[in-house]
Amino acid sequence: MKTYRGSCHCAAVRFEISTDLNRVSECNCSICTKKGALHHRVSADQFTLLSGEEMLSLYQFGTKTAKHYFCKHCGIHPFSQPRIAPDMYSINIHCLDDLDLSATDFETVPFDGRNWT
């Protein structure tokens, strides 16, 4: 396992995850499509919020099970707790600092969130 650090754009929200980054998912639901997020899910014990809890804004819709977090200052979405697994964290890998997507060897799995019930 490797430790990755991440943040929102203004760095008010900072976090780290410990994981093997070998798989990401691309969801086609309405919010994920508009956010352009690539998701990598980790358990709560693999996620640490380092700073900025007070800068997080929570957005919920529909069943209000999923928790979508955004930075109040810059508006970036670093992570969520998805409806499909509310006890886990879905990390927007675009928010991982110093991650070179072109040099990363992970499987991208489509998720049909638009038709998931």
Q: CA angle, corner 115, sides to 114 and 117, nearest 5?
A: 110
Residue 116 falls within a domain, yes or no? no
Residue 96 falls within a domain, yes or no? yes
pTM of the model: 0.91
Q: 38: helix, coil or strand?
A: coil
Residue 117 falls within a domain, yes or no? no
Q: What's the domain count of the chain?
A: 1
Say if residue 117's pLDDT is above 90. Answer: no
Helices (H) then strands (E): counts for the chain: 1, 10
C-alpha 47/C-alpha 17 separation (Å) is 5
C-alpha 39/C-alpha 12 separation (Å) is 21
The CATH number covering residue 37 comes to: 2.170.150.70
Domain boundaries, position 70: 2-111
Say if residue 25's pLDDT is above 80. Answer: yes
Q: What is the pLDDT of residues 38-77, one digit of tens each?
A: 999 999 999 999 999 999 999 999 899 999 999 999 999 9
C-alpha 6/C-alpha 117 separation (Å) is 30
